[in-house]
Amino acid sequence: MTQGHISDSVLVYIATGGRRASSKKMTTRQRRSHVYVSICGPVAAGKTTLAVLLASHFGWSLLLEDLGTNPYLNDYYTDMPRWGFKTVIAFLVRALTLQDEIASRLTQEAICQDWYVAEHYATYGIHTFNEGIIDERERQTCEALHRYLMAHLTPPDLIVVLTADPATLLTRIARRQRATEPEVPAAYVENLVRLYDHWMSTLEAPHLVVDTAAQDLVRDTNAQQRLISQIAAALS
């Protein structure tokens, strides 16, 4: 399956509202023999920083999110109602098409990923619906694809959820001045933080919550070592 192409089984799954049309599952996960850690959290929470730190310390392979693979993202910022649905779908399709690659790589190496597949719908997708960017019919389609993805994903051994207060996140966004984050409104960040808080309360997979506003994981080596020890303990 290539990016931008959805298999017939996925389309059937969406058309039936998320009910499984086939019992066939990816079997590559059965041959998995290495650690898989996903790091997630709102924009500017420090996901990539932590992923690079962990990969360097443990000798894991990095799998970083490349926003440039979403062909609608730049258009989304110029006309959200027009491009919102396509943007969310593109993120979900990209996550789905990566599952075979992740399962295959885990037979050879450990992976540290600076995002988690559930984020695309559970936080950002829901945000677009709450803000009226996508309608109920589009939300249901996104949810059906999300459910298919969650039913067929290679699950991480540990999910590290990074949190921070909106003021801290906004300061970091302003400091790094990324082209993909033009004029991020405070209300947007506040909504994301609330959505992540709600999503974390429903998360059943093995996870560790880290408040990155309370500790400097960029400069404080003691904080880095404490977190590394926590993650090692969670994986043992």
Rg of the chain over all Cα atoms, to the nearest angstrom = 18
Question: Can you give the pLDDT at residue 149?
Answer: 95
Question: Which amino acid, 144?
Answer: A
- What is the model's pLDDT at position 32? 61
pLDDT value at residue 188: 87
Structure confidence at residue 2 (pLDDT): 38
Q: Where are the beta strands (DSSP E) in the chain?
A: 36-40, 61-63, 111-113, 158-163, 207-211
Cα separation, 43 vs 164, whole angstroms: 10
pLDDT tier, 64 (very low <50, low <70, confident <90, very high otherwise): very high
Long-range contacts of 170-176 (CB under 8 A, 24+ apart): 170/44, 172/44, 172/46, 173/43, 173/44, 176/44
Classify 179 in phi/psi space as left (phi over 0), alpha (psi -120 to 50) or beta.
Answer: alpha
Burial of 142 (0-12, 13-18, 19+ CB in 10 A): buried
The CA distance from 65 to 26, in Å, is 22
Is the model's pLDDT at 41 over the cut of 60? Answer: yes
CA-to-CA distance for 127 and 193, rounded, in angstroms? 11
The reported pTM is: 0.83
SS3 5: coil
Beta pairing, strands 61-63 & 36-40: unpaired
Q: Give the span between the Cα atoms of 225 and 53, in whole angstroms.
A: 10
Contact 37, 162 (CB under 8 A): no
In this prediction, residue 89 has a pLDDT band, given cuts at 50, 70 and 90, of very high
Q: Which domains, from first to last, does the chain contain?
A: 34-235 (3.40.50.300)
Q: Comparing C-alpha atoms, which of 27, 42, 51 is closest to residue 110?
A: 51
pLDDT number for residue 115: 95
